[in-house]
Structure 1
Amino acid sequence: MLTDYLKKLIDRQAEKDSDFKSLLSKPNKSLKELAEYVTGEAFKAVKDAPTDEARGCRTCYQDDETMLNHIIHYYQEDDVKPEPLPENVSAERPSEPKPSEPKTVVMKPKRVKKETKNPKYQELSLF
């Protein structure tokens, strides 16, 4: 879940940076709102992409550094609020494919064709 992953990133950054750790105690900030903010920023990055391929994609990905920058910005600024996503956009993680049972493969020996002369075509001799 996104909130669990964001919590791990926050904890990792709080260990490195004591100033960031003090920002976490702001009463008007929540992990749920942070998840909505990060999702909205990811959607904006795809929506404003310079190529048609990126704008038409169905999924979005952001690396840890970019997400961490959004997290820090969210906690530093008091007036940052998440923008609602359009109705046709979902911020859900796709379901994991179920592991299928391994298939057993039976190897059959190759059949070798014997070379036979075709009676329809005969080789003519010029001598």
Structure 2
Amino acid sequence: MSEIKAGLYYTKNHEWVEKLSNGNLRLGITDFAQHQLGDIVFVEVPAEGAAVTAEGEVGSIESVKTVAELYCPVGGTVAAVNGALETEPELVNSAPYGEGWMIEIEPDGEAEDRLAGLLTPEQYEAEQQD
């Protein structure tokens, strides 16, 4: 069974969101998603300062098997990107909840409002078992 980390919020599309102490939201893909994709060879994300929309496509993840889209569950502005993924995309496989994070978003509204519509770890786990 894939790892589901406590303290994060999840989407049905297998993205995770972490609320940071500065109010920004960090986004990545779940352990389940990285296992499904296989060896990741390239990650494309928007540049810092780019506007993103809730439920909008914000990048792609290329593996040896396929290309998957990355969706942003919240709207806002890209505050940071994980530059390490340019040369080490395999970090998404080895540490999807750590060094394999993808972007940080400064939400365009109160973060709590956006997070309320996402899945808790328990709800995400139940989705995996369906």
Instruction: Report TM bin, short chain.
Output: under 0.3
TM-score normalised over the length of structure 2: 0.24
Instruction: Identify the structure with the greater helix proportion.
Output: 1
TM-score normalised over the length of structure 1: 0.25
Instruction: Identify the structure with the greater strand proportion.
Output: 2
